[in-house]
Structure formats: structure tokens, C-alpha cells
Chains A and B, each alone.
Chain A
């Protein structure tokens, strides 16, 4: 790292940290800050200051010798005690001081809305931002299936440890143990909190909360509200946010896009935004900036994310010094509605919960598949023995409920082998006929009706399926124009979630002091693959129960700062950078549209960085993305004006960032010579085509550091220390 480090005086350090010189001397005496004596006076190296600002407190950290420049701040001690011990040890900000501290939160999804509301309840002054016209429309609204919590209401042996273990295993042993355990630990509280807010979860006839199962686990721990769990949870968080807006503790800025982070003396001190209605570029100052901007799956153009989902906030902070971790870990969800044509603008998920009752299959015989594709045969005409329920065949223990990465690859394998069932050959069946009969028989038996009347049984069964998944079936029918109660759904994998994201420590702080990242925007809890119903859990855990406490550890050093001036040169420079970008990107009077480039980028990503990757393809992708980016900056045409509503301009900014992220994504995938979770390298697989992990060389998070536009980013490795779980090869057989 910095060998020829600059040496700073106590005075400079005190100024930077905004504390008295006496405090610094105290820290030196107690060993909290290391100094050297040069000419009889204490001098502190810049890297030491950086380390101190990042708040190193750890002793159980293997990274000390591995060259990782930062501390992950994981407390030592037994797994179950880490979080309570940490909460007990970290610095607090008194209620009176909280009133003098401003926090910016970018994003109003589950993570951002819950964080804003809770920070405001605690007494901080919060400014919240979202690009939609209302905070309630953040993309979390679209989550369907459910949210996990280790409540063990079903008495099926669930526990914090089991949820922790499932998540680590599901993530293919590429996440940080302590973070995941904390997630499991606070999960039960989330459900209590949401119920107290009036979130109408599904209930059983006794009036108690109902659960369902999701992939990769053997217990029922998923809470849900029909197929609209994300909507109900987000509306709960939105209501908590509204309460604080009404109290005057949150200022809400809808239709505002964060365009830049402002860093003053090494600390995040504000953001530059563009008002999407009138085009005004605005400066906002604060003592801390929280990024809760969601995932970047739209780098693939086609994904299940909303049209506006983007990486801009995360990318801007990366370019200001925040590490970006594991960008190539992407979740391709197995059950989405297949692409129907060139015009396709986005893909629609069919919730994983459907795999509780739906069975996945393709025809056993190639000639049947061929006939189906040519519309000469119907799936209902294929008899049981001529169907290949390939997940049940390959993974008898988990069957249709294997984790997502496994299910997606298995679908691709069958389609590549020629068994696909729609005109493009890129689809498999998800069939509810067995479930309809099973439920129908149960109902007929329990209500004393004729169990031999097949029409009655089907009718009763369909009613039960409708009660469980009605809105999903309706959604499917509207898009695909087929009735899934009568004929199996056609589904295919699609980009859905990004496990990678901004690197954060145990306090959820990025490598820029004062800049935090929560929710899907960070990299922290899901390793190389996320289990279903765990993103909602993580978003709310971060926002309600983790960040509001850990942020105090940082802000406790900031109580004397006073309000942040937005007149400093750093704000002016950041604003100029935004204006320059806008001026450049709008200069062409004709050319290709933003979508033209976005689609092209998406195709490169899907073909070469998608469900399976290899060295050759990744190298090509890097080259092609570079060329496409150059073309974009020379030839993109953004019509209209920058001083008013202009969606093309907003999109141009987002696509410009995707064109940079895409390259880092491919670089990351290339550097990871193993297959793990959502990252499948063709060079690394078993004879049976299962992923082959390399724990010896790759048990680390790849934390990329921006080194300037012209330079290759630097790879920092945070070694993942497995103290409590033994690394095993993942098996769902």
C-alpha cells in the first residue's frame, strides 16, 4: 500500500477528525492511534489515519496479514454474542446531539424507507431521495413471494442457527459469517415490527400467521401476503416514513436523482442531485450519506427489475473511493416468463413460491419437444412417463425446491440439449395439475364430498390454487395469453438480483468514512447466491435494526462539526462534474438512442457474462463493452432539454454508468477461477455439470478499488474467515 505515506501532525489529524488535539494525544497514549516520533514530535501516517477513521476495532480478523487495507470490524467472540456485544461497545450519540446531525438516505425501498423512518424516530434529521414520483413506488413494491424469519411458528425445528446455516450454504460459502448470523438474529423482530405497523400478512383459520417454503431449505419460515409481500412490507415502511415526514423529521425529495457524492476531507458530506421535473442541479449536505439504491440487474437490459432500477448511486461512490465487491455475483431466477420477441422491454418474474406446488418438466423425447415447438402437440397430451421432471430426477432431496442457481442452470442444460418448449426453444414447463388434484382431493375428503368426481376435485383444487397464487396466475395469463389452471406455465431463467454491490464493514459503512450502503445495494449477506425471501429480510434488517445503531459509532465523532456547508470547493467541483456530464451527453443533434446502447450492452452481458461464463467470452465482453462505451459517448443522441422533464437524459446517465459497471463485472468474473453460486465458470465444473468451488484460493470477497479512468481497477481481497461453519461442497441431492 502506501509506503511513502505522508506524515501528518496532531493538529492536522485533530482538524480532520474534528476533535481536540488533546483527544488525539489520548488516543496515541492508549494505543488507539499509532504514531511515530519524528524530530521529537508525534507524526501520524495518512494510512494510519484512514485506518482509524474506518474505526478498526477488531482482533479476530485474518485480514491483518492478507494485505486487505481495511478492517471489516467484525467483533471477536462467540457467534451468538457478537451483535449484542458490538451494540454494547459502539459509540452512541445522545438525543440532544442527534438533533444537530443530518443524514441523507438515497432510496426509499425497503432498506431506505425503513432506515429513514427509524433514523428520524431516533432524532436525526433525514433527507430522503427517490427517482420515482412517490417513495411508495420503489422497486421493493414488486417483490412477490415472501420474507424469511426464524420464528419457528410451524414447530419444524427452525432456529436462528438454521437460518444462518441455510443462508451461508445457499450463498455457497462466500459471505461473511458474522453479518449473516446477525441477519438471522434480527429476522424475528422484523415480523413483529411489521405486524405492529398493520402489515396484513396471510393468516390461517386460527388467526395466526401462515408460512410457506422457499427453495434451498427444509423448513417453512416464509411469511407472505399473497403474491404481494413486497408491496405490503413497503407500504408498511412507507407509512412509517410518512409519519416522520408529517412530524417534520424527514424531508422527502421524490423525482430526484443522485448524480454525485461529495467527499470533504475524506468524509462523505453530501450529494448532488438532479430534480427530474425541472432539471435543476442541487447540492445537499449532511454528516453521513446512506446509499439504499437497490440492485443493478438492469446492466443486462432485460431483467425482472423495474425499468428505472440503476447502479448510478453505487457507481458514483465507487468512483469516489468505495470498494465494489463481487460485481459478477448475479442471480438468474429460474421461473420468469420467457422472452416473447425483439420488442421485449422487461421480464416478469413468477414467484419462487410457485415451486411449492408447481412441478418443473420438459418432454423426455426430443421429437415431442420438436412437435410442441411447432405447435403440433399440446403439453397436456404428453403422458406422465414421457415427461422428464428433471429437478426431481437430479436432486431427489430438494426436488423442485433446489436453490435458484441450481434450478436455472438445470433449465438451461435441458434447453441447450434441445428439450425447450416454446418457439425459441428457451422455455420449460411449470405444471400445477398434480397440485390441483392433490388439493382437490384433500378438500373433498375434509368436507365430506365425492372424492371420485374428478370434475369436482379439479374445481376444488383450482379454488385452493387461486387463493394461494391468484394474482400470479392472473399476471401470467395477461402476459402469455394462456390459462395456467388448464395448461402448464412456460418459464425460463432471467436476471433477477445482484448479490454483489458496494463493500461494507460490519457497521454497513463503505470504505469512504461516513458513506453507508444498505439493502440490495451492498454486498454483505448473500454470498454468491441468495435464497428466496431473504432480500426483503435483509433490506428491513439493515434499515430497521442494524444501520440506525451502527451509524452512531461513526457519528459520535461528528457531534461538534456543526451543519455542513454546501459552499465548499468540493461541492462546487462535484456540481461542475455533473453539469459537464450533462452538457456533453446532450451535445449531439442526432445519433443512436440511449436504448439502442442499453440493449446492445444487455446482449453482451447475457451472452458472455450470464448463466455460464468462460475465459474467452469474458475477454471478448471486456473488449466489446469498451468499444460500445466509446461509441455511446460519441454518438448517443439525447433529445429535448436539460432544464425540464427529460426521461432520455435520466436514462443516459444510468446507461453511461452501466457501460462502466459492465466492464468491471466481466473483469471480476474473469478473475474468479472457480464456480460458486450464481457465478458458473465452464472451466470449473464436475463431470455431472455441477459447480466446482475452489476454497483454497478463492475464499475471499473481491473488493475492487477505482484507480482512475485509464487504469485497471485494483483487486483487494477480504478473506472470509469461517470460524463456525465448516466449508463443504454444496449438495441438494
Chain B
């Protein structure tokens, strides 16, 4: 199939960017979206131009590096799918495709489609852990049974890949789903209980400091989350936060 691409190009953080047009031919339905961009880039290189920069690494939906807004949707049209898992069979011959970076105040553009998501790391550093040293003397792993439903819920929340689509999808650029997922993971586990109060306080404080917006319950985050992290986690986050204030 032949396609028209409208891609955001931006030299660096300081420069202003713009949409540029490219046409591309002979794309096969079995190609992944990123392989289509590879082909575009090989073409650009052979005509002496700079290729389009985009983040990617695992190309199987788990590392959270890929981060494109495709036709207005973070990670593109398919539910529960990362950009790198999207395949060209989803598009038709002659389509025009808009490709832009994940935007948000706290995600400045580094180049073209690559953004700086280090704010997410800093939120995790503020409290996304259990304070246990590597001593080799921790209790036996089976000493504390954890009811399967709790373990499963913790796992579901922990499946977040830290991609930032929730922020890019939200009109307020809120990071509540991302933060909620981490806070909920620990809230469902006995190991997480001890520091629950400090954790949620510190993570929320850092989230605000990074300039992420408030949550107004639009649910756009869940709809675009490639791991289908539930907004239930935002409710959990709010509850944990309230508890930390009253106790």
C-alpha cells in the first residue's frame, strides 16, 4: 500500500517543530508500524537527509520506550497495544497518517518524536519501593501467604510499562494512572503496607512538582493505556492519599 505521512519534526528542545509531509510506497500489511518508519528512514538516509528520530527498543510491547501519537491517539488506534505492536494491516492504501510525539508539559521534546520522560523516574525515586536491603537473610518467600486475588491485583497494577500514554492522552496531562498503578501494587501486598503513608505522600508530592495536571475523571488514560491499567488504580491512589492524611 501507498501512504501519506505527516510527521512532527523538531531539531531539538529549543527549536520550534512543524509537521512535514512524506509519501511512502509498497508497504506490506505484515510490517509493523515501526518497520514502516524504518523503511522511511532508510529512504531519507539514502537521499542524504536526517532520519526521523523516535524511541523504541524491545519492539514487543514491554519496555515502554515507543511513544507515538498516531492520528491523534497515543499508541494508535488499537486497544491494549503499544506503538511497536501495531501492524500496517490496520491501515488502507492511500491513507494519510499523522505521527506526533507524546506531548505534555512534563515531557519536553528532545528531537522529532523523542521526548524526555525522566519525570516518571523521579516520581518512582521519591517512593516507589519497599525499603528492604539485600541481606540474604530475608524471611522465606512462602512465610507470608498472599491471597491469590490480592496477588493478581498487585500484578495487574505492576504491569504498567511506564510509557506515558496516559499523560499524552489526558487533556490535563495528568500522571494519576501511572502513579496510581505503582501505589496500588504495593497497597495490595503485605510488604507494601509498612511505608504506605510516606510512599503515597512523597510520590504525589513529586508528581505535582514535575508539573503533571489534575485528574478530572475523563478516563482517557485507561482508554489509551496499552496495558489496560484500570482507573480503579486512581481511586486507590486517592484513597491511600486520604488515609495518609487522616492517620
* Residues of A near any B CB (own CB < 8 A): 114, 117-118, 121, 132-137, 139, 141-142, 151, 153, 186, 189, 191-198, 200-209, 225-226, 228, 230-232, 235, 238-240, 242-243, 245-246, 252, 254, 277, 306-308, 340-341, 343-346, 348-349, 474-475, 478-479, 481, 544-545, 548, 589-590, 593, 595-596, 637, 639-640, 644-645, 647-648
Contacts and interface: CB of A to CB of B under 8 A. Distances in A.
Interface in B108-156: 110-111, 114, 116-118, 120-121, 124-134, 136, 138-142, 145-148, 151-152, 154-155
Contacts of A198: 130, 154, 185-186, 189, 191-192
A209 B186 contact: no
* Best-buried of A203, A548, A589 by chain B (most CB within 10 Å): A203
A245 B134 CA distance: 16
Contacts of A142: 58, 60, 62-63
Contact of B130 (A196, A232, A306, A345): A196
15 contacts: A134-B162, A137-B63, A191-B141, A193-B136, A193-B138, A207-B151, A225-B155, A231-B161, A239-B124, A277-B110, A341-B30, A345-B32, A478-B87, A644-B111, A645-B114
Contact of B141 (A195, A640, A645): A195
B89 interface: yes
Contact of B121 (A118, A121, A232, A254): A254
B87 A481 contact: yes
Nearest to A121: B133
A226 B159 CA distance: 10
A225 B62 CA distance: 14
A478 B120 CA distance: 28
* Best-buried of A205, A590, A593 by chain B (most CB within 10 Å): A593
A211 B235 CA distance: 33
A134 B158 contact: no
Given A196-B191, A208-B145, A589 B48 contact: yes
A309 B96 CA distance: 33
A153 B133 contact: no
Contact of A345 (B38, B46, B133, B162): B38
Contacts of B35: 343-345
Contact of B42 (A308, A475, A544, A593): A593
Nearest to B30: A340
Contact of B136 (A228, A474, A545): A545
A639 B51 contact: yes
B242 interface: no
Contacts of B55: 133
A132 B148 contact: no
B31 A341 contact: yes
Interface string B168-198: 0000000000000000011001011000000
Nearest to A137: B63
Contacts of B155: 200, 202, 225-226, 232
A197 B129 CA distance: 7
A205 B148 contact: yes
Nearest to A149: B141
Interface in B70-128: 80-81, 85, 87, 89, 110-111, 114, 116-118, 120-121, 124-128
A294 B225 CA distance: 29
Contacts of B162: 134, 136-137
B176 to A, nearest CB: 19
* Best-buried of A133, A345, A475 by chain B (most CB within 10 Å): A133
A194 B134 CA distance: 9
A479 B30 CA distance: 8
Contacts of A544: 134, 136
B208 interface: no
B136 A200 contact: no
A370 to B, nearest CB: 22
Interface in B50-70: 50-51, 53, 55-65
B236 to A, nearest CB: 15
A43 B12 CA distance: 59
A514 to B, nearest CB: 22
A343 B88 CA distance: 12
Interface residues of B, number: 77
B85 to A, nearest CB: 5
A243 B129 contact: yes
B50 A139 contact: no
B45 interface: yes
Nearest to B112: A645
B193 to A, nearest CB: 10
Contacts of B130: 196-198, 239
A459 B144 CA distance: 34
B134 A647 contact: no
A240 to B, nearest CB: 6
B232 interface: no
Contact of A200 (B39, B120, B154): B154
B34 interface: yes
Contact of B48 (A240, A548, A639): A639
Nearest to B190: A198
A239 B123 CA distance: 11
Contacts of B139: 192, 196
The 10 residue pairs across chains A and B that have the minimum distance between CB atoms: A207-B145, A239-B129, A200-B155, A195-B141, A200-B154, A645-B111, A306-B57, A196-B138, A242-B125, A137-B63
A516 to B, nearest CB: 17
B28 interface: yes
Contacts of B152: 200
Nearest to B81: A478
Nearest to B192: A198
Contacts of B117: 133-134
Given A235-B158, A343-B28, A481-B89, A200 B140 contact: no
A160 to B, nearest CB: 15
A252 B118 CA distance: 11
B158 A232 contact: yes
Contact of A308 (B57, B127, B185): B57
Contacts of A478: 61, 81, 85, 87
A637 B51 CA distance: 12
A240 B111 contact: no
Nearest to B186: A198
Nearest to A644: B12
A239 B128 contact: yes
Contacts of B146: 203, 207
A345 B154 CA distance: 34
Given A137-B65, A243-B129, A254-B118, A647 B60 contact: no
Given A139-B58, A208-B142, A645-B114, A593 B46 contact: yes
A206 to B, nearest CB: 6
A195 B191 contact: yes
B63 A306 contact: yes
* Best-buried of A225, A545, A645 by chain B (most CB within 10 Å): A645
Nearest to A639: B50
Given A205-B148, A245-B125, A151 B141 contact: yes
A209 B140 CA distance: 11
Contacts of B145: 203, 206-208
B154 A307 contact: no
Given A134-B118, A200-B158, A200-B185, A548 B45 contact: no
* Best-buried of A118, A200, A479 by chain B (most CB within 10 Å): A200
B12 A242 contact: no
Contact of A197 (B31, B110, B191): B191
A306 B58 contact: yes
A308 B141 CA distance: 35
Contacts of A545: 134, 136
Contact of B45 (A121, A196, A639): A639
A248 to B, nearest CB: 11
A401 to B, nearest CB: 24
Contacts of A136: 64, 121, 124, 162
Contacts of B158: 200, 225, 232, 235
Given A242-B128, A242-B129, A343-B31, A307 B57 contact: yes
A240 B133 CA distance: 8
